[in-house]
């Protein structure tokens, strides 16, 4: 039997130009590209360099021109506000053109940055598309981040305009966004000229004249704006993601490659096209939201769902399945954490089985490692393929996946299947040599990366090269460790850096440590990610106090928790911290975080030969045991 996926992959690697030239026909161009791949400035590669197009035109206008204006583009479902309505492509075009017209009237031009700090409501998608329409570069900041994180991103992106809403709504209550925005703008060194604020009935924001304007009022008289033809290589957006330091990385995505790659992935990976319903239950603040709530489904003329709710509690663990049935969702995408939360509340699948899910062809999981238990449970409950797939903010679309729209292959639990066409994935050892099948190493992708992947970091080519391209020249370092089996299936096992994944949210332990060290009592801090049954990983901190500090354990604990919440935001889920007399370090002063992590997770560990004081590991072990992590079984093995 021919392995269609494998031969597609081989074609894409052997002749990337003709593979992507053909894929480029999935979108409408103002000027079709002749130069498919520009390799003249390695390690920087550019796709479709002489092509001109507009992402918003492809995601909105062209469906209206094709006579499908009355089809639903966005289905907004908000259990937290008890609200639900649909937006057709005609309506979407009207909303987006008007918002784009407003932006033009405020002097926003091609290349200007616009920060979007908004909840899961249709206006957030309007905002992104309106920027795309006029060539402004959007930068969406996730609502669960604190003012300080927003300020950091504002300082880096230097937007002229911020679009925000008065509040977000979480099951725990209303989260006022506008005061957070005000605080961020006060902290930021960059001055923002205009803020457009969408008032929601749940919270009335104070507007500060002349900077702030009311969304509804301001748009009443705005003129409609047309799509501006852009170079394929013009940036569409900057999305900040956690790096190993506290300074987030501004991943830059261009227009042409992104639109082509997303269209290709919608059809070939997610098996969704025109008129079909696709639902990614994530948040627009993350890359999943950018690619598969907003751009991907709209680019192929599908219906997307914007869900302002949670997998459980809004109202129950049947929420996902109820919506899939009601909206005839064909392909569904969520994070393993969400499934673990559902499984905890509905272990026998009683709720799940009460719905008719015959519309659903498959469910996709990503954002964190998918443990085989979660995959097996959901697959047996749903009786449909459950597809783990692997990618990152940087790549923008899946690197390894089962091609459900082409030729599904066997699912191996624990593996996101094989490399997707366009990606040449290899596993290298520390010396840069390819390792054998089933041997672990650093997972890398041979350059050039396919269209749609990051082109650089915002205004920081050097950091892009240093972070991703310098360890193995000619290869992009993913930051993940894992192995390939004899059938070419990839297994992603862990990160090689200090990034942790909390409920599918990517966070930097370095940033937690910076924040803990801001506390006047703290001399030093180490934060590691420890395993968590629900969230996959959660952060755990150990701090060494300054001499003479007089704080009770409870006081210290509470103060550190609120400091992290204040500085990083609720998304940090920071609940575990303890004081220790000393941290384990090498003689050169490097904190032994990897060893601490192994002790916490009851894995075998060796005492590094370079350790400064072996007793510090006993301190760590005892502290972790007290915190409910390492038990006495944590094994120490000899070298
Ligand atoms: N705006 C403001 N606050 C937000 C927010 C937003 N957009 N998103 C989350 N928060 C807050 C939550 O209210 C919570 O605050 P709290 O500590 O005051 O309760 C905190 O951030 C952590 O939220 P969350 O990560 O959602 O955890 P949870 O304990 O409330 O819920 C799950 C647990 C498993 C239900 C939830 O994490 C979930 O739905 N996970 C799926 C993740 C996902 O889709 N990831 C995207 C990658 S594909
Ligand atoms: P983000 O950039 O937030 O999407 O996070 C990307 C990181 O999440 C990856 O580098 C992995 O460490 C992890 N990740 C995402 N999807 C998977 C998956 N399917 N399996 C294992 N790890 C994953």
Q: Which pLDDT tens digit goes with each residue over 580-615?
A: 999 999 999 999 999 999 999 888 888 998 999 999
Q: What is the CATH number of the domain that holds 549?
A: 3.30.300.30
Domain check: are 509 and 433 in the same one? Answer: no
Q: Return the pLDDT at 638.
A: 45
Instruction: Give the residue among 69, 66, 27 at the shortest CA–CA distance from 48.
Output: 27
Q: Is the predicted pLDDT of residue 639 greater than 50, yes or no?
A: no
Q: Residue of the nearest CA to atom 21 in ligand 2?
A: 369
Domain check: are 56 and 112 in the same one? Answer: yes
Asked whether 498 and 593 are in contact (CB, 8 A), the reply is: yes
Domain check: are 450 and 545 in the same one? Answer: no
SS percent in the chain: helix, strand, coil, step 5 = 30, 25, 40
Ligand 1 centroid to residue 310 C-alpha, Å: 8
Domain count along the chain: 2
Domain check: are 402 and 506 in the same one? Answer: no
Domain check: are 416 and 504 in the same one? Answer: no
Q: Residue of the nearest CA to atom 16 in ligand 1?
A: 570
Q: What is the mean pLDDT of residues 113-119?
A: 98
- Domain boundary pick from 469, 490, 524: 469
Ligand 1 centroid to residue 61 C-alpha, Å: 34
Ligand 1 centroid to residue 571 C-alpha, Å: 6
Q: Ligand 2: which of 391, 401, 498 to mutate, judged by most atoms within 8 Å of the beta carbon?
A: 391
Q: State how beta strands 505-508 and 522-532 pair.
A: unpaired
Domain check: are 607 and 547 in the same one? Answer: yes
What 3-state class would DSSP assign to 334?
Answer: strand
Residues 6+ apart with CB under 8 A from 307: 77, 78, 120, 279, 281, 323
- Domain boundary pick from 469, 485, 515: 469
Domain check: are 521 and 445 in the same one? Answer: no
- 601 lies in which domain range? 499-637
| Whole-number average pLDDT of the chain | 96
Which pTM does this prediction carry? 0.95
Q: Return the pLDDT at 630.
A: 77
Omega of the bond prior to 208 within 30 degrees of 0, cis? no
Rounded Cα distance between 481 and 441, Å, is: 6
- Domain boundary pick from 469, 488, 512: 469
Q: What is the mean pLDDT of residues 261-282?
A: 98
Let me know if residue 354 belongs to a domain.
no
Domain check: are 504 and 465 in the same one? Answer: no
Is residue 272 classed exposed, middle or buried when 0-12, 13-18 and 19+ CB atoms within 10 A define those classes?
buried
Q: Is the predicted pLDDT of residue 226 greater than 80, yes or no?
A: yes
Rounded Cα distance between 234 and 607, Å, is: 50
Domain check: are 59 and 134 in the same one? Answer: yes
Q: Is the predicted pLDDT of residue 245 greater than 80, yes or no?
A: no
Kindly list the protein residues whose Cβ atom lies closer than 6 A to any atom of ligand 1.
Answer: 119, 143-144, 168, 170, 172, 175, 281-283, 286, 288, 310-312, 334-335, 337-338, 341, 366-367, 503-504, 534, 570-571, 573
Instruction: Give the residue among 109, 118, 293 at the shortest CA–CA distance from 196.
Output: 118
Instruction: Give the residue among 403, 415, 552 at the shortest CA–CA distance from 489.
Output: 415
Domain check: are 166 and 36 in the same one? Answer: yes
Helical pair 147-157 and 553-567, crossing angle rounded to 10 deg: 30
């Amino acid at each position: 039997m021919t392995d269609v996926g494998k031969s597609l992959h081989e074609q894409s690697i052997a002749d990337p130009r003709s593979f992507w030239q053909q894929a480029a026909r999935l979108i409408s161009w103002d000027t079709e590209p002749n130069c498919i791949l520009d390799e003249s400035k390695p390690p920087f590669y550019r796709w479709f360099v002489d092509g001109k197009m507009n992402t918003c035109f492809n995601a909105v206008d062209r469906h209206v021109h094709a006579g499908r204006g009355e089809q639903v583009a966005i289905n907004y479902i908000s259990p937290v506000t008890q609200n639900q309505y649909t937006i057709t492509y005609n309506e979407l075009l009207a909303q987006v053109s008007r918002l784009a017209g407003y932006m033009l009237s405020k002097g926003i031009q091609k290349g200007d940055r616009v920060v979007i700090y908004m909840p899961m409501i249709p206006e957030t998608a309007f905002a992104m598309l309106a920027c795309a329409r006029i060539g402004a570069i959007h930068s969406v900041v996730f609502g669960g981040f604190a003012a300080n994180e927003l300020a950091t991103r504002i300082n880096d992106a230097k937007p002229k305009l911020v679009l925000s809403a008065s509040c977000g709504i979480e099951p725990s209550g209303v989260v006022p966004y506008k005061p957070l925005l005000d605080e961020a703008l006060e902290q930021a060194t960059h001055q923002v000229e205009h803020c457009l604020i969408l008032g929601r009935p749940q919270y009335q924001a104070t507007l500060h004249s002349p900077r702030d304007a009311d969304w509804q009022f301001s748009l009443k008289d705005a003129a409609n704006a047309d799509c501006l033809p852009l170079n394929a290589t013009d940036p569409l957006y900057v999305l900040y993601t956690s790096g190993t330091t506290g300074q987030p990385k501004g991943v830059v995505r261009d227009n042409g490659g992104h639109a082509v790659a997303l269209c290709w992935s919608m059809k070939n990976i997610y098996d969704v096209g025109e008129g079909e319903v696709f639902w990614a239950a994530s948040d627009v603040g993350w890359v999943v939201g950018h690619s598969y709530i907003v751009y991907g489904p709209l680019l192929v003329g599908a219906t997307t769902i914007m869900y302002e709710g949670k997998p459980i509690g809004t109202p129950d663990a049947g929420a996902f399945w109820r919506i899939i049935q009601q909206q005839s969702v064909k392909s569904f995408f969520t994070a393993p954490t969400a499934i673990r939360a559902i499984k905890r509340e509905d272990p026998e699948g009683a709720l799940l089985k009460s719905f008719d899910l015959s519309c659903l062809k498959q469910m996709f999981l990503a954002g964190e490692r998918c443990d085989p238990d979660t995959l097996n449970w959901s697959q047996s409950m749903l009786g449909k393929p459950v597809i783990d797939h692997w990618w990152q903010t940087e790549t923008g679309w899946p690197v390894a996946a089962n091609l459900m729209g082409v030729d599904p292959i066997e699912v191996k639990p624990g593996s996101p299947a094989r490399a997707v066409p366009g990606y040449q994935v290899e596993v290298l050892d520390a010396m840069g040599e390819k390792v054998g099948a089933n041997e672990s190493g650093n997972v890398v992708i041979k350059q050039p990366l396919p269209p749609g992947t990051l082109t650089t970091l915002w205004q920081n080519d050097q950091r892009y090269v240093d972070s991703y391209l310098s360890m193995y020249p000619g290869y992009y370092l993913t930051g993940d460790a894992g192995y390939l089996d004899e059938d070419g299936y990839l297994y992603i096992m862990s990160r090689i850096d200090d990034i942790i994944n909390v409920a599918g949210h990517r966070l930097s332990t370095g940033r937690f440590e910076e924040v803990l060290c801001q506390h006047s009592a703290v001399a030093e801090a180490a934060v590691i990610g420890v395993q968590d049954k629900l969230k996959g990983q959660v952060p755990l901190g150990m701090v060494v106090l300054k001499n003479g500090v007089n704080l009770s354990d409870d006081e210290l604990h509470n103060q550190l928790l609120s400091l992290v919440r204040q500085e990083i935001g609720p998304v940090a889920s920071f609940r575990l911290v303890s004081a220790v007399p000393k941290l384990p370090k090498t003689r050169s002063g490097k904190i032994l975080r990897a060893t601490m992590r192994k002790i916490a997770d009851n894995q075998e560990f060796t005492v590094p030969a370079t350790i400064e004081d072996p007793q510090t590991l006993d301190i760590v072990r005892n502290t972790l045991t007290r915190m409910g992590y390492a038990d006495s079984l944590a094994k120490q093995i000899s070298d």
